[in-house]
């Protein structure tokens, strides 16, 4: 799992419009990368909409959602909920694995691989400043904003 003080891993991933982003695409401003399991599911929708609503309060902080869903899925999700930030598609789980959040999970005794809902704040130079593990979606965007503004 990535930790505070470490450089955020470089990546090359497409957003909901098919535009490719790398870590250097976000250089010069702080970024909140929030990692979530699946577009248009209840918890993920709650989290996305709360980040959408907090965007006006974030100043120069950018928000980027990352999940293993496809570019097409992200486009539908962004359109449906009028999301005003970048969603990166990581179907090969490259960034998810590099950050250490593509993990074995268990539900009803069945084991499977999935995203551990996590948020990582990165400074303008690409260094991790905060990590939130095992995030509960409701209220999380406000929690992130409060921490970053303190």
Three-class SS state of 79: helix
The active-site residue, picked from 31, 44, 63, 115, is 44
Strand blocks (E) in the chain: 12-15, 20-22, 31-35, 62-67, 86-89, 102-107, 110-115, 118-122, 128-132
Contact 124, 103 (CB under 8 A): no
- Is residue 44 among the annotated active site residues? yes
Give the whole-angstrom CA distance, residue 65 versus residue 70. Answer: 13
Q: Spell out the residues 6+ positions from residue 143 whose beta carbon is closer than 8 angstroms to its own.
A: 132
Q: How far is CA 14 from CA 93, 110, 119, 142, in A?
A: 13, 32, 19, 27
Q: Enumerate the active-site residues.
A: 44
């Amino acid at each position: 799992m990535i930790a505070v003080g470490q450089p955020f891993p470089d990546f090359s991933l497409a957003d909901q419009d098919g535009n490719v982003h790398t870590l250097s695409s976000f250089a010069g401003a702080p970024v909140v990368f929030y990692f979530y399991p699946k577009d248009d599911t209840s918890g993920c929708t709650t989290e996305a909409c709360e980040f959408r609503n907090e965007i006006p309060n974030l100043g120069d902080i950018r928000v980027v959602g990352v999940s293993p869903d496809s570019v097409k899925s992200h486009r539908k999700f962004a359109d449906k909920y009028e999301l005003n930030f970048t969603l990166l598609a990581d179907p090969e789980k490259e960034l998810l694995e590099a950050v250490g959040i593509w993990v074995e999970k268990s539900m009803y005794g069945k084991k499977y691989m999935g995203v551990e809902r996590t948020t990582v704040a990165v400074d303008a130079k690409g260094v991790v400043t905060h990590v939130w593990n095992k995030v509960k979606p409701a209220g999380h965007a406000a929690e992130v904003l409060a921490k970053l503004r303190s």
